[in-house]
């Protein structure tokens, strides 16, 4: 792709999603989304915090306060309207669209005028660096969307993932790793199923460790519990807590073909869902500070199911037709959060459907790229 963000004409590799194939190498139609939602990214180019509101017919709701020179992402329905407010004044409105990029900012030509009108502080040297990265990202997004049909959800200049990515050319494609088989469930996003990844002894051990810890209400943001996005409880289990947990990590690294010398995983997050509890559609990736040179964020999610649910509790991928993965004891599901060019994969948005009968236990293991730096996320 040719582009110019102000530094002269340049060329770069971008990932254009290929048409999925069937087992006979014939093109197969991609299933339409079962959800009319999008992942929306907002940019604050001002030197002061700005409030992001969701505007409904009868009321407005504060979604988030964006820090100066920062970004934030949310999941929203098509035609939802949002606004930026500064000192209780609406300064810009945005409408989520199905046929356009959903990367939003106050127009660049307005930022300086607003800064003068509101007498905002001048940008410091670190803020100027962030401002340059953010403005170039906005310009780059236009080129990227025109070339790929997808919003650019990373920061301009981010390198492609350094980790290996399993190909997903058609549903049912299989890859062998040691004694396990990865079976492709979806090509976009890349989703794989691994049956019997955990032994019954490992499952019982994980449940024993988790049930003897204090479970906390799961969070996705400062107001997650209040807005009903997530209604489960969770705890964390470190890699060094037992030899069995260390073995699970070793196997996970082998499954993803990530060198064991790299410290790129978080502690296991063990989650419990009781009846009617769920986790609405969300992204597992996040946005690091724009000035961070390596732009670290989550690269892949490995779900480990610790029990079978009597009814409900599936993991759904609404932007991939009606793909639903049913919990089964010991089964693992791997899905990538990035595309091969380093963009965040919007289609990796997923949800934990409500448990209708019984309860559900699972563990999340997140891999990072290029390095793990949880504190870098905004």
List the CATH number of the domain containing 295: 2.60.120.620
Is 239 part of any domain? yes
Q: Are residue 206 and residue 269 in the same domain, yes or no?
A: yes
In a domain, 6, yes or no: no
Residue 19 lies in a domain: no
- State whether 142 and 178 are in the same domain: no
End residue of a domain, out of 148, 164, 196: 148
Cα–Cα dist 99/88, whole Å: 31
Average pLDDT over residues 169-190: 96
Confidence class for position 235, pLDDT limits 50, 70, 90: very high
26: in domain: no
Residues 230 and 349 in one domain: yes
> Which of 277, 282, 284 has its CA nearest to residue 232?
277
Does 18 fall in a domain?
A: no
Structural domain boundaries, residue 90 = 34-148
Do 129 and 223 fall into the same domain? no
Question: Same domain, yes or no, for 137 and 190?
Answer: no
- 128 and 236 part of one domain: no
- What tens digit of pLDDT does each residue of 125-159 get? 999 999 999 999 999 999 999 999 999 999 999 99
Identify whether residues 212 and 319 lie together within a single domain.
yes
| Residues sharing a CB contact under 8 Å with residue 134, sequence separation 6 or more, in sequence order | 43, 45, 69, 71, 105, 155, 290
- Find, among 217, 281, 222, 218, the residue nearest to 52 by Cα: 222
Same structural domain for residues 196 and 114? no
Residue 209 sits in the same domain as residue 119: no
> CB–CB of 56/18 below 8 Å?
no
231 belongs to a structural domain? yes
Q: Mean per-residue pLDDT for 227-252?
A: 91
Question: For the chain, how many structural domains are there in total?
Answer: 2
The partner residues of 325 in beta bridges, in order of sequence, read 315
Same domain, 185 and 262: yes
pLDDT tens readout for residues 287-319: 999 999 999 999 999 999 999 999 999 999 999
Residue 233 sits in the same domain as residue 332: yes
Q: Please write the tens of the pLDDT for every residue from 44-101.
A: 999 999 999 999 999 999 999 999 999 999 999 999 999 999 999 999 999 999 999 9
- 56: domain CATH number is 2.60.40.780
Q: Does residue 164 belong to any structural domain of this protein? A: no
Model confidence, pTM: 0.94
Look-up: residue for tokens 């480990």? 304
pLDDT of 186 above 90: yes
Choose one of 89, 113, 148: the last residue of a domain. 148
- Is the distance from CB of 287 to CB of 72 less than 8 angstroms? yes
How many residues can be counted in the chain? Answer: 378
- What token pair was written down for 101? 């990029």
7: in domain: no
Same domain, 110 and 245: no
Rounded to whole angstroms, the Cα distance separating 204 from 43 reads: 45
The answer to whether 345 and 337 are in contact (CB under 8 A) is: yes
């Amino acid at each position: 792709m040719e582009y110019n963000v102000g530094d002269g004409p340049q060329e770069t590799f971008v990932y254009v999603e290929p048409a999925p194939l069937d087992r006979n190498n014939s093109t197969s139609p991609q299933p339409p989304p079962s959800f009319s939602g999008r992942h929306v990214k907002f940019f604050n180019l001002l030197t002061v915090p700005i409030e992001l509101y969701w505007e409904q017919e009868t009321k407005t709701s504060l979604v988030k306060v964006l820090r100066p020179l920062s970004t934030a992402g949310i999941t929203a329905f098509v035609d939802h309207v949002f606004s930026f407010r500064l000192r209780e004044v609406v300064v810009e409105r945005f409408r989520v669209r199905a046929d356009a990029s959903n990367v939003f900012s106050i127009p660049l030509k307005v930022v300086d005028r607003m800064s003068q009108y509101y007498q905002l502080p001048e940008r410091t040297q670190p803020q100027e660096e962030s401002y340059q990265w953010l403005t170039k990202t906005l310009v780059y997004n236009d080129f990227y969307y025109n070339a790929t049909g997808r919003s650019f959800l990373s920061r301009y200049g981010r390198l492609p993932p350094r980790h290996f990515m399993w190909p997903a050319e058609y549903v049912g494609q299989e890859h062998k790793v040691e004694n396990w088989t990865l079976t492709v469930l979806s090509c976009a996003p890349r989703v794989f199923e691994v049956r019997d990844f955990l032994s019954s002894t490992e499952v019982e051990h994980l449940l024993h460790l988790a049930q003897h810890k204090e479970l906390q209400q799961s969070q996705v943001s400062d107001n997650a519990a209040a807005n009903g996005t997530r209604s489960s409880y969770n705890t964390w289990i470190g890699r060094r807590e037992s030899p069995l947990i260390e073995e699970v990590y070793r196997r996970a690294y082998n499954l993803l073909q990530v060198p064991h010398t790299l410290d790129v995983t978080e502690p296991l997050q063990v989650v419990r869902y009781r009846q009617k509890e769920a986790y609405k559609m969300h992204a597992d990736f996040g946005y690091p500070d724009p000035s961070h040179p390596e732009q670290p964020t989550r690269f892949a999610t490995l779900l480990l199911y610790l029990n079978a649910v009597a009814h409900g509790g599936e993991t759904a991928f609404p932007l991939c037709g009606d793909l639903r993965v049913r919990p089964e004891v010991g089964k693992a599901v791997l899905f990538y959060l990035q595309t091969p060019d380093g963009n965040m994969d919007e289609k990796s948005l997923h949800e934990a459907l409500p448990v209708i009968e019984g309860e559900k236990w699972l563990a999340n293991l997140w891999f990072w790229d290029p390095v793990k730096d949880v504190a870098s996320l905004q």
